[in-house]
Structure 1
C-alpha cells in the first residue's frame, strides 16, 4: 500500500487487490468458514480448548495463501480489524454471488464480461 488507508472505504479496494488471485480468495473462504465453525463449536459445547482453532484456521489459511499463491504481505499486519472485517465481507459477498462487482470496481477484473472471479 503506497500510503496508509485512513478510512475503511479506502482500505476495501486495496484489500481486494491484495487478493487478486482466485486461489488466494478460496483459501480465505476456507479459513473463514473453518475458523467460524470452530468458534461456534467451542462456544456451543463449552469446549474451550477449541478456541485456539479460531486463529489457527483463520490466519493459517490466509497466510499460506499470501506466502505461496499471492506472494504478498497479508493486510492483517497493517490493519488487523479491517482485515478481519474484510475477510468476512469478501466471504459473504462470494457466497452470495455479489463479489464480482466489487472486484471490478477495485480493478481486479478488467470488465464485467471477464471470466468469473469467484
Structure 2
C-alpha cells in the first residue's frame, strides 16, 4: 500500500469517527424520555399556554441569573413562583387540563426547558402548531 492510500484510509476513518461522535452527541434522548416529551407536547397544544410557559420559564431563568448576581435566593424563588403561576394559568384557563408537574414534577421540569429550547431554536412555534418542526 502506498502513502496516499494510507492517508485516504486514515481520513475516511477519522470522518466516520467524527460522524459517529456527532450522532451520539445529538442523540441524547432515550425512548422513554422521548415518549414523555411527546406526551408533554400533547399537553401543550394551545398557543396561549405555550406562550405562558415560555414567559414563565424566562422569569425563572431571569430569577436564577439575578440570584447568582446578588447571591440571594429571593429572586430565584420569585422567578420560580412566577414561572409556575404562568404555567398553571396556561393549563387551567387555556389548555383546560392539569399540569403534568402534578404527577411527574422532575420530568415535567426537564421537558419544560426542553420545550423552551425548542422554541428558542425555532423547532416549536408560539404562533401556530403548523410551524412546529420537532414533531
Settle same-fold status: TM greater than 0.5: yes
Q: Say which one has the larger Rg.
A: 2
1:81 to 94, 102, 106: 106
Shift of 1:48: 2.5
1:57 to 82, 86, 90: 82
Tell me how large the CA RMSD over aligned residues is.
1.5
Structure 1 SS opposite 2:97: coil
Q: Structure 2: which 5+ runs fail to align?
A: 1-30, 125-131
Shift of 1:47: 2.6
Q: Structure 1: which 5+ runs fail to align?
A: 1-5, 106-118
Match of 1:3 in 2: none
Which deviations, in whole Å up to 9, do the C-alpha atoms of 1:40-89 show, x marking residues without a partner? 10111113322221320221110011010001000001111111111111
TM-score, structure 2 length as denominator?
0.68
- 1:23 partnered with 2:48: yes
Instruction: Assess if the C-alpha contact under 8 Å between 2:63 and 2:80 holds in 1.
Output: no
Structure (1 or 2) with the greater helix fraction: 2
Structure 2 SS opposite 1:57: helix
Dislocated runs of 4+, deviation >3 Å: none
Which deviations, in whole Å up to 9, do the C-alpha atoms of 1:12-61 show, x marking residues without a partner? 11100100011110000000011110111011111332222132022111
**How far apart, CA to CA, are the structure 2 residues paired with 1:37 and 1:51?**
8
Range 39-48 or range 16-25, more displaced: 39-48
Match of 1:101 in 2: 133
Ranked by relative contact order (alpha carbons within 8 Å, sequence separation 6 or more), the top structure is 1
2:92 to 67, 92, 97: 67
